[in-house]
Amino acid sequence: MSVVADCSLLLAAYDKGATQHQRAVAWLTRTDEELVLTPLAVAELEVAVRDGGGARAQAKVWHDLEVGAYTTRWWADALAESLRIARAHPALGLTNASLVALAERLRTTRIATFNPDFRTVKTTSGDELVLLPDDA
């Protein structure tokens, strides 16, 4: 089964000084599910890790991507779907909206995140999102 992964959780895992670092690492260690991101989220993650931790931290993200720690998905209508969601929920921003679109595409409600903004969104079928690890 797949879980959509948000940068807030992944950034906390990479940053040993982050308030949520231990929770992020513990959850990532326990899960055996496929973690899926959009290319927008990968770009956001890579830049944030580089800006916060330098070239060595950036290289760790690149390594994790190369070895398949995360799967990246994008599809023909991804941008249009992401923009539709972003317009309906401007506080999310386009990157997070792309993750909601991805969740809908994967037919899951589960997003690994520490970002409470995802609580304002429901799927097109009206289901609330399950935010992991909080809702586990």
HSE-up of 5 (CA within 13 Å, CB side)?
26
Query: Which CATH architecture is the domain 2-132 placed in?
Result: 3-Layer(aba) Sandwich (3.40)
pLDDT band at residue 24 under the 50/70/90 scheme: very high
| Contact call for residues 67 and 47 (beta carbons, < 8 A) | no
User: What does the DSSP assignment read for 56-84?
Assistant: HHHHHHHHHHHTTSSEE---TTHHHHHHH
Model pLDDT, residue 124: 85
Domain locations along the chain: 2-132
pTM over 0.75: yes
